[in-house]
Chains A and B, each alone.
Chain A
């Protein structure tokens, strides 16, 4: 995955680049809005990570300019502003995701990979079924079968499993689950998500030889692949 990072803070930028390289991705780092915009227009980047506050041209303007010009690659906005308003404005400007500083690198990486995968998988909406290992989900009938066993799920459990299956093999963080399965963006005080996931795990993994739903310590969960 080729990442273009537009971030004026040298420490944060350096850290993200180093971690991305360590995770096997390439990273180009630009320090201001104008340089970043020029670099992005040259093309060749899979995902953009853009800080909101940038010298010369602010992050949202960069994103708007790119989107107006038909730029299609996914973009994540980074921001030190924790206001809900800012989040909404960030997403309205054409960004695909929004992260508030301070964030953990795991969170950023998980989101980057999900965005990258989504962008590189053609027309995901036409899919009518999902398969991970021996588990099969029929999106039209809303049915889940593992091996020969039909699994009965509550509506929320179904949504949770669907999200996990759509991102099978990828690390999905708790914050991502809250945002996409529950539709809220907040910090739970306790392990509410873990309880939901372990319930789901009981239903889909109990009685089977291989565990499909794995916990990735310090990051989140992953369905069907060793992290």
Chain B
């Protein structure tokens, strides 16, 4: 069939307030989850971690109708996508997770700490997870990254280097005290003084 070139992309629209039964039913609706917030599979290698936090609006109020999606490399720095030509996945780790925030704006993901991924020049990027933020009141999702505190590689990361020093902390998940699997806290501020750095990609 002959294809005519479209005159542009389909514009984005908000997920609205009612996405949960379709995208994040989580046992509350008569529909199954395509994805959830537990990325760990039995054969996944690497350090098990939990990332948790809350989402806030410009008034500091929690956002209970937000959807978060993460995408990350495995512990060896490989993406579960044939477009990653280096990928030789030895696990069933998919690297993608999705969750809706709860009534208090909270969320959590169980995953593994990602490995080092090269930048376009072949230089190493510090371990990071990419995060897309969707919500009622957001006509287009926001794109950001989760980095990890205590990571020496952060100092040389080419993306963190683009961010004004006084805003970098908004991208760094903070290790929480406690024993057992590492827990990192990463809050998302959609607007305001502590506004999370969002990237244009």
Asked if A and B bind, the verdict is no
Interface residues of chain B, those whose CB is within 8 Å of chain A, are none
A residues at B contact (CB < 8 Å): none
